[in-house]
Amino acid sequence: MTTPSKFDLPQGTLDLLILRVVALGSIHGYAIAQQIQLISKEALQVQQGSLYPALHRLENKNFLVAEWGPTETGREAKFYRLTAKGRTQLRAETESWERLTEIVAMILRQPLGERL
Amino acid sequence: MNWFQRLSKTGRMEKDLDAELRFHFETQVADKIQAGLSEAEARRATRLEFGGLDQIKQDCRESRGTLWLVSILQDLRFGARILAKSPGFSVTAIVVLALGIGVCTLAFSLYNIAALQSLPVHDPATVVRIQRRSPENITPGLPYASIAYYRDNAKSLSAVMETMGSAPLVLNQDEQRVSATFVSSNYFSELGAAAASGRLFDAAQDDAASAPACVLSYRLWQRRFDGDPSIVGRAIRLGGRPATVIGVASEAFASLGTDDPDIWLPLLQHSYFVEGSKPLADPKFEGLIAMWGRLAPGVSRSSAEQELLSLTNQLRKIYPTVIWDHEYIVITPGAHFLSFEGGPGAPPVLPLVALLVFLILAIACANLGGLLLARGAGRQREIQLRFDLGARKLRVFRQLLTENLLLGSLGSIAALPLSYAVLRLVLVYSNAPAWMSAMPDWRVFLFTVTMGFFAALLFGLLPTLQMVRRKKNRSLWHQFVVCAQVGASCVLLILAGLLVRATLHTLYSDPGFGYEQVLSIDPGMSEHGFASVQAQTYLDQLQSRLRAVPGVTFVAIARVPPLVNTMIMMTSIDVAGRRIMIYPNWVGPDFFQTMRIPLLRGHYFHNGEKNAVILSESLARKRWPSEDPIGKKWEKSNDVVVGVVGNTRAMELNNTDATEIYYPPTADDFPAMAVLVRAAGDPNTLTPTIKAIAGSIDTGLYPTITPLTAGFRKSVSQVEQIATIVSLLGSVAIFLAVVGLLGLVSYAVSQRTREIAIRLALGANRMEIFTAVLRRFAWPVLLGLVAGVAITAGLSQILRRALYGISGLDPISYMGAMAILIAILAAAALLPIRRAFQLDIARTLHFE
């Protein structure tokens, strides 16, 4: 809210990104936000206000499971892990995302003024 | 974790959520400090980035999916507190709802008992009623020959029962006759009935020659024999015939259909109790033997119909004259008190009652809406505060809706005992069979809860939406509420007025004939199998003996004795494409003098006159509007019109325009004839003499002697009952309208307290203020009145038959109802305004 993200993520994209990041290994919420920011080279900033509801939603759908454990600094944090169901979901979502972007790109690449 | 676990671990999850977010917060702060910010700065920046922590938490809770339940519980608790805080409003709302829902529940309970509940008999689902139909004919009964054939051959029926009503029988020497029903010997055992004392019919009654037996109803046993158990095994006389009481049916026994007789007799012994009758032997017997069956296991009603249809076709070969063309069998569920099948032309009672009842509910709901709205104004500040604290519209809306639902369920809960109490009264008052219970069953519960739900939802919705949208202008909804209330109350009041007027009209207007001093004597010859010559002899003897009795002025015979007739006959002719319904009667020459029906033209029947008809004035006018009917041929017959007599409302008290045609009796009519006797003084003093004379002519007959006044009173009491019910509904409607208007005007006044105070302070005329406040209600009231009148005018066409000679547009009823309504509404409006006039001007202005 205070720092506007550079992009407005399309509906459902955040869930996909979270699944992807969590797929790399057990990770807590703050680190997920950091990772997304890092990988996107600061282009994406995930708001806490979107991140946590999304995490809870994915946990509720049994795509993620959470466990409390110590961080490297010794504090207790909630670590999320992908479930088998989440992995399947990630695969399906990734596939459909790729197809979508391909199609969108295909259309956008079509030079203006030409029709098939 | 399923939702229940999540719900039960709410506390733990809240702590986790808090810890998770705090961890994020602290880590972010730590990172910022590492990046070189001071701790205070780092915290400030992080807090800004986080935004509303509570909002995030709320979003997390919502995505968890159990929040709705938690928050509904919260809402309910909060709603209950809110309602408890304003008991005046809550009680009013609950009473209004309870009345509205209660009326609906009561009507539904009655319908439930009559048509939905199964009779308390063994395996009610397989009990069926079997009737014959053809495209031309509908009769409730079947010839015994058909029944016997179906019973012996149908594989889809595991049992067949028969019942046959009877004219009331004389019990011993009692003045009051008892009602009797003839039943097959398996009737009680098939229905799983228990005896209160002795035993019920069984295979012993399969032999027509067995000792004549009867079973008493529990009611008759208590009423007539004081519940004396020694009555079992004793002989009583029924219609002069001795019969042994073999037992008493239990109090809870439910007989099939609407029939609730005092006594049951074996059908096979019909000829013994009704001398000369042969309903079983004669396939052409026109009696009403009702056929009931029990479906064989696994057989559906339609497949049973199929089988019986094929049997009907075989039966036609045996009795070609008895079976109609295209006759088929209709099988309906049998274990219900009533089935609202209703033939064509039957008045739409159910929709009409439903409409009236829902009108009441509509008024109640409109009222509730008005009350909610008025209260919404008072809660504006509270709601605004909640929005300011960040509540979302949907959340506030749901909270308010929950409050309404709470009100709705409280209304339903209050409605149940209300309807129970009234229903009990109704059942006791109407002498209902003992098995009918006022206790609500699951259907009534479900209905009541649903009604409460819908009432709260539908009529709480609009005001709630307006509250949430924070619209200032509510007057449109107000005006709608007023309009709906006034309209609905108007309908009920006018209907009540019409029915009351109709009752008075029937009581105090001339029915066109003199019934006060006339007795009807029905010898019941056709039931006793009299042939026409025998019947004619009997009638001649009885008439001449009666004429000799001092105090008797006229004696006549008629096939359909007015007012006491058990059967109505109708015929019709077409004149210029319009169908005229006519009541026919077959009467002797002295009929018109006996009934004091004036002769307008021509002459009365002569003795033995044939091929003659006499028309009522209205019929003559409709058939020959501008010609003299005397001497004209009647339709396609050889009958000649010999006279025109005054109109009577003998067959249909409610219809001033009823038309009658009179024929001289033919030989076939004699066994069905009744005798009418006009007395110079009190006709009841003649009864013993008449009995003695009838007994001396034929000892086998027990004529039913009824004063026509009794028949008159009976027809009127039905109208009176309807009028009472509608009047009660009307008063409930008025009560609701008063409460509603009181609330709305109070609200309107409270909104304008300051304005009124200023005007008063400036010395305004009170009347002006009064009209200023009320002006906005004038249009909706007027509109409501107009709508009400229009709806009633439409409805009254359906009710025409019940209106006993009152026009459905009777101006007195309409004006009266409107005057009453306006007076009451004005009074309801005056009260809050009077209060406003008494307010302390200085304080009001200061407060604002």
Per DSSP, the three-state class of B797 is: helix
| pLDDT of the residue at A95 | 92
Q: Which domain holds residue B287?
A: 124-333
Smallest Cβ–Cβ distance between B50 and the set A48, A57, A76 belongs to A48
Which pLDDT tens digit goes with each residue over B215-273? Answer: 999 999 998 899 888 999 999 988 778 899 999 999 888 888 777 899 999 988 888 88
Smallest Cβ–Cβ distance between A52 and the set B27, B60, B65 belongs to B60
**Are B642 and B527 within 8 A, CB to CB?**
no
Task: Give the best-scoring range by mean pLDDT among A43-52, B131-140, B791-800.
Answer: A43-52
User: From the CB of residue B723, how many other CB atoms can be counted at a distance below 10 Å?
Assistant: 22
Residue (of B357, B361, B365) closest to B495 by Cα position = B357
**Are B28 and A26 within 8 A, CB to CB?**
no
Q: Taking CB atoms and an 8 Å cutoff, what residues of chain A touch B51? A: 1-2, 47-49
- The DSSP secondary structure of A31-82, one letter per residue, reads HHHHHHHHHTTTS----HHHHHHHHHHHHHTTSEEEEEEE-TTS-EEEEEEE
Per DSSP, the three-state class of B650 is: coil
Does the beta carbon of B10 lie under 8 angstroms from any beta carbon of chain A?
Answer: no
Bigger pLDDT: B286 vs B481? B481
Confidence of residue B135 (pLDDT cuts 50, 70, 90): confident
Q: Which residue has the tokens 């208590």?
A: B222
Residue B454 CA, distance from chain mean position: 23
Evaluate if residue B185 carries a pLDDT over 70. yes
Of A15-29, B127-141, B186-200, give the lowest mean pLDDT range: B127-141
| pLDDT of the residue at B342 | 45
Which pLDDT tens digit goes with each residue over A14-33? Answer: 889 999 999 988 898 889 98
Q: Quick check: is A6 in a domain? A: no
Most A CBs within 10 Å, among B56, B58, B67, to test the A interface? B56
| pLDDT of the residue at B678 | 93
Domain-ending residue, one of B291, B307, B333? B333
The pTM of the full predicted model, rounded to 2 decimals, is 0.68
Q: Quick check: is A43 in a domain? A: yes
Does the beta carbon of B62 lie under 8 angstroms from any beta carbon of chain A?
Answer: yes
**Are B363 and B488 within 8 A, CB to CB?**
yes
Residue (of A43, A35, A50) closest to A1 by Cα position = A50
Based on C-alpha coordinates, what's the Rg of chain A? 17
Q: What is the distance between the alpha carbons of residues B93 and B270, in angstroms, rounded to a whole number?
A: 60
Asked if B295 and B411 sit in the same domain, the reply is no
Asked if B557 and B671 sit in the same domain, the reply is yes
Q: What is the distance between the alpha carbons of residues B216 and B227, in angstroms, rounded to a whole number?
A: 11
Look at A78 and B19 and tell me if their CB atoms are within 8 Å: yes
Bigger pLDDT: B700 vs B478? B700
Output the six-digit token pair for B191.
């229905």
∠B622-B624-B630 over CA atoms, to 5°?
Answer: 120
Strand order in the sheet with B599-602: B571-575, B578-586, B659-663, B612-616, B640-645, B599-602
CA distances from B463 to B71, B143, B359, B363 (A): 22, 63, 20, 15
Evaluate if residue B725 carries a pLDDT over 80. no
Which pLDDT tens digit goes with each residue over B678-688? Answer: 998 888 888 88
| pLDDT of the residue at A5 | 46
Number of domains in chain B: 4
Q: Which domain holds residue A80?
A: 13-109
Asked if B180 and B283 sit in the same domain, the reply is yes
Q: Taking CB atoms and an 8 Å cutoff, what residues of chain B touch A28? A: 23
Look at B59 and A52 and tell me if their CB atoms are within 8 Å: yes
Per DSSP, the three-state class of B599 is: strand
Residue (of B92, B246, B236) closest to B171 by Cα position = B236
Look at A30 and B28 and tell me if their CB atoms are within 8 Å: yes
Q: What is the mean pLDDT of residues B202-212?
A: 82
Q: Quick check: is A116 in a domain? A: no
**Are A51 and A15 within 8 A, CB to CB?**
no
∠B392-B397-B403 over CA atoms, to 5°?
Answer: 135
Read off the CATH number of the domain in which A54 is found: 1.10.10.10
Of B171-180, B305-314, B432-441, B766-775, give the lowest mean pLDDT range: B766-775
- Partners of A23 in the β-ladder: none
Helix intervals (H) in B752-847 = 753-761, 766-799, 811-837, 841-847
Evaluate if residue A2 carries a pLDDT over 50. no
Which pLDDT tens digit goes with each residue over B387-398? Answer: 887 777 777 888
Evaluate if residue B4 carries a pLDDT over 70. no
Taking each helix axis as running N to C, give the angle between helix B811-837 and helix B753-761, from 0 to 180 degrees, rounded to the nearest 10: 70
Q: Which residue has the tokens 């026409």?
A: B532
Per DSSP, the three-state class of B381 is: helix
Q: What is the distance between the alpha carbons of residues B315 and B150, in angstroms, rounded to a whole number?
A: 9
Q: Quick check: is B597 in a domain? A: yes
Asked if B357 and B284 sit in the same domain, the reply is no
Number of domains in chain A: 1
Residue (of B107, B111, B369, B140) closest to B256 by Cα position = B140
Evaluate if residue A47 carries a pLDDT over 50. yes
Count of residues making up chain B = 848
Would you give the DSSP letter of residue B296?
Answer: P
Question: What is the average pLDDT score of chain A?
Answer: 84
**Are B648 and B585 within 8 A, CB to CB?**
no
Q: Quick check: is A3 in a domain? A: no
CA distances from B624 to B450, B617, B619, B637, B655 (A): 58, 10, 8, 17, 21
Q: Quick check: is A115 in a domain? A: no
Please determine, for the modelled complex, whether the ipTM score is greater than 0.85: no
Smallest Cβ–Cβ distance between A52 and the set B19, B26, B56 belongs to B56
Q: Give phi and psi for B420, each to the nearest 5.
A: -60, -45
Confidence of residue B656 (pLDDT cuts 50, 70, 90): low
Would you give the DSSP letter of residue B573?
Answer: E
Q: What is the mean pLDDT of residues B11-36?
A: 84
Which pLDDT tens digit goes with each residue over B555-580? Answer: 999 988 888 766 666 777 877 777 77
Q: Quick check: is B614 in a domain? A: yes
Q: Quick check: is A85 in a domain? A: yes
**Are B419 and B106 within 8 A, CB to CB?**
yes
CA distances from A36 to A43, A82, B511, B522, B809 (A): 9, 17, 96, 102, 80
The amino acid occupying position B52 is: G
User: From the CB of residue B31, how many other CB atoms can be counted at a distance below 10 Å?
Assistant: 14
| pLDDT of the residue at B294 | 92
Q: Taking CB atoms and an 8 Å cutoff, what residues of chain A touch B56? A: 48-49, 52-53
Look at A52 and B21 and tell me if their CB atoms are within 8 Å: yes
Domain-ending residue, one of B713, B740, B770? B713
| pLDDT of the residue at B263 | 93
- Partners of B578 in the β-ladder: B575
Which pLDDT tens digit goes with each residue over B59-114? Answer: 777 777 666 677 778 888 888 888 888 787 788 888 888 988 998 898 889 888 88
Q: Quick check: is B341 in a domain? A: no
Evaluate if residue B646 carries a pLDDT over 80. yes
Would you give the DSSP letter of residue B131?
Answer: E
3-state secondary structure B195-243: EEEECCCCHHHHCCCCCCEEEECHHHHHHHHCCCHHHCCCEEEECCEEE
Asked if B524 and B648 sit in the same domain, the reply is yes
Evaluate if residue B370 carries a pLDDT over 90. no
Size of interface A-B (CB pairs under 8 A): 60
Of chain B, the percentage scoring pLDDT greater than 90 comes to 14
Confidence of residue A4 (pLDDT cuts 50, 70, 90): very low
Q: What is the distance between the alpha carbons of residues B186 and B208, in angstroms, rounded to a whole number?
A: 14
Residue B131 CA, distance from chain mean position: 25
Asked if B198 and B249 sit in the same domain, the reply is yes
CA atoms within 13 A on the CB side of B835: 14
Which pLDDT tens digit goes with each residue over B322-360? Answer: 788 888 888 888 888 876 554 444 455 677 778 778 877
Evaluate if residue B481 carries a pLDDT over 50. yes
Contacts (Cβ under 8 Å, ≥6 apart) of B572: B579, B580, B581, B582
Q: Quick check: is B405 in a domain? A: yes
Output the six-digit token pair for B620.
């003559």
Q: Quick check: is B103 in a domain? A: no
Q: How far is A67 from chain B (nearest CA, A)?
A: 11
Q: What is the distance between the alpha carbons of residues B20 and A77, in angstroms, rounded to a whole number?
A: 6
Of chain A, the percentage scoring pLDDT greater than 70 comes to 87
Q: Quick check: is B340 in a domain? A: no
Of B468-477, B480-489, B658-667, B769-778, give the lowest mean pLDDT range: B468-477
Largest CA distance in chain B: 134
Asked if B586 and B695 sit in the same domain, the reply is yes
| pLDDT of the residue at B419 | 92
Residue/partner pairs of B603-609 with CB below 8 Å, 24 or more apart: B603/B642, B603/B643, B604/B643, B605/B642, B605/B643, B605/B662, B605/B664, B608/B664, B609/B642, B609/B664
Q: What is the distance between the alpha carbons of residues B657 and B616, in angstroms, rounded to a whole number?
A: 10
Pairing relationship of beta strands B241-249 and B213-216 according to DSSP bridges = parallel
Output the six-digit token pair for B196.
């209160």
Based on C-alpha coordinates, what's the Rg of chain B? 37
Contacts (Cβ under 8 Å, ≥6 apart) of B663: B584, B585, B586, B587, B612, B613, B639
Residue (of A2, A57, A63) closest to B59 by Cα position = A57
Residue B427 CA, distance from chain mean position: 13
Q: Taking CB atoms and an 8 Å cutoff, what residues of chain B touch A77? A: 20, 23
| pLDDT of the residue at B701 | 80
Q: Taking CB atoms and an 8 Å cutoff, what residues of chain A touch B50? A: 48-49
Smallest Cβ–Cβ distance between B63 and the set A33, A60, A68 belongs to A60
The amino acid occupying position B813 is: S
Q: Quick check: is B95 in a domain? A: no
Q: Quick check: is A4 in a domain? A: no
Q: Quick check: is A69 in a domain? A: yes
Count of residues making up chain A = 116
Evaluate if residue B286 carries a pLDDT over 60. no
Asked if B623 and B603 sit in the same domain, the reply is yes
| pLDDT of the residue at B6 | 57
| pLDDT of the residue at B15 | 83
Output the six-digit token pair for B361.
């509910």
Look at A54 and B62 and tell me if their CB atoms are within 8 Å: no
Q: Which residue has the tokens 């309208």?
A: B737
- Partners of A64 in the β-ladder: A82
| pLDDT of the residue at B245 | 93
Asked if B707 and B722 sit in the same domain, the reply is no
∠B35-B37-B43 over CA atoms, to 5°?
Answer: 110
Q: Quick check: is B462 in a domain? A: yes
| pLDDT of the residue at B511 | 74
Asked if B738 and B841 sit in the same domain, the reply is yes
**Are B354 and B360 within 8 A, CB to CB?**
no
Look at B51 and A54 and tell me if their CB atoms are within 8 Å: no
Classify the phi-psi angles of B773: left when phi > 0, otherwise alpha if psi is within -120 to 50, otherwise beta.
alpha
Of A31-40, B465-474, B531-540, give the lowest mean pLDDT range: B465-474
**Are B583 and B652 within 8 A, CB to CB?**
yes
Confidence of residue A114 (pLDDT cuts 50, 70, 90): low
Which pLDDT tens digit goes with each residue over B589-631? Answer: 899 999 889 899 899 998 888 889 999 988 898 888 888 889 8
Would you give the DSSP letter of residue B76?
Answer: H
Asked if B720 and B842 sit in the same domain, the reply is yes
Q: Return residues 596-625 of B near A (CB < 8 Å).
A: none
Asked if B244 and B149 sit in the same domain, the reply is yes
Which pLDDT tens digit goes with each residue over B411-466? Answer: 999 999 999 999 998 888 877 888 888 888 899 999 999 988 888 877 777 777 77
Look at B63 and A57 and tell me if their CB atoms are within 8 Å: yes
